[in-house]
Structure 1
């Protein structure tokens, strides 16, 4: 009897996309905490072991499922540094509250331990450059003071968003974001 060669970790592209789609849909419907690998597999029409063959846990599946939504946004350029900052902050919050659930990013990355912390660091680092660019452009236009601590401001925006979303598990309101953007020392 000839043994059939093991296919190993090669992914059937259709099954792979079905699993990622199922993970996105399930998390959107029931939240990150209530989604399970079993439910993701069932919705995708694959066995639970298929999921575990390709990903070590639910966090890894969900992280990959939303990875395309984690791409850094373009640098806002509305002509006003205050409006640019507001758009930037809205984008940061959208990233950290994928699928409208503040627990998705935090939960998925926390479950991944050190890998999750590194992934979150990388996600935020990718967002620092657009924030830095918009503030430097505001300095160049004369809207902001030349000695503005650009890096500290961008990092404090990320810290604020993380605190509200991860620790308080609530999305900052648009009013909150307007107030935060309004703290910039914009010159008239």
Structure 2
């Protein structure tokens, strides 16, 4: 018999999450992921490792991708906003931090796998959508700060600008192009912040 099977099961408190059990499940999920990888990851293995019932896990997370998104959030946390007083530089540095994190940590591959699964799994797609909207709102804080300084027009939607940045870094991750120089990131954020249109001057007036 597996040594883990000898330990008493953790008690659930129904739909309301028991913090101790939730922490045990997330820790177990990280361990199973590290040992078995994304393809070998299973709810059954997590339940056994955490000494929690599968029904409890499925009550709190709707599936593998949903649980792994929480594992990813737990590992990654929130990056602090750069504050140079220049929105282009702030966005470029922020994007650079994200890309570097994905290159330097297994979390990058985890998130890439979740994005891939979301292409054919409805539950995963809903989880990714919710996470994307949450991250867009978070990143919009940098744009709103610049707007408050008067550096961004008041009619610009900060969340739309944030989504453009988010789209850039997520596409780089999904297509395995995480390397980006400061110059490249600066050029991309310059286009996003300033736009690509050349304003024509009407000389006949």
Same fold, TM exceeding 0.5?
Answer: yes
Contact 1:19 1:44 in 2 (8 A): yes
1:32 to 1:16, Cα distance in 2 relative to 1, 3 A: same
Q: Which residue does the alignment assign to 2:185?
A: 180
1:123 to 1:30, Cα distance in 2 relative to 1, 3 A: farther
Structure 1: gaps (5+ residues):
1-5
TM-score in terms of structure 1 length: 0.65
Look up the SS of the partner of 1:172 in the other structure: coil
Residues 35-93 of structure 1: CA deviation (Å, up to 9, x unaligned): 11122223223343442343331122222333445665443113555542232113444
Contact 1:23 1:40 in 2 (8 A): yes
Alpha-carbon distance between aligned partners in 2 of 1:150 and 1:52, rounded to the nearest angstrom: 37
Structure 2: gaps (5+ residues):
1-11, 194-205
TM-score in terms of structure 2 length: 0.61
Q: Which residue does the alignment assign to 1:157?
A: 165
Look up the SS of the partner of 1:25 in the other structure: helix
Q: Which residue does the alignment assign to 2:133?
A: 122
Alpha-carbon distance between aligned partners in 2 of 1:138 and 1:28, rounded to the nearest angstrom: 44
- RMSD of aligned residue pairs (Cα, Å): 4.0
In structure 1, which of residues 11, 34, 41 is the aligned counterpart of residue 40 of structure 2? 34
1:32 to 1:135, Cα distance in 2 relative to 1, 3 A: farther
1:23 to 1:173, Cα distance in 2 relative to 1, 3 A: same
Contact 1:24 1:65 in 2 (8 A): yes
Alignment pair present for 1:45 and 2:45:
no
Alpha-carbon distance between aligned partners in 1 of 2:27 and 2:69, rounded to the nearest angstrom: 12
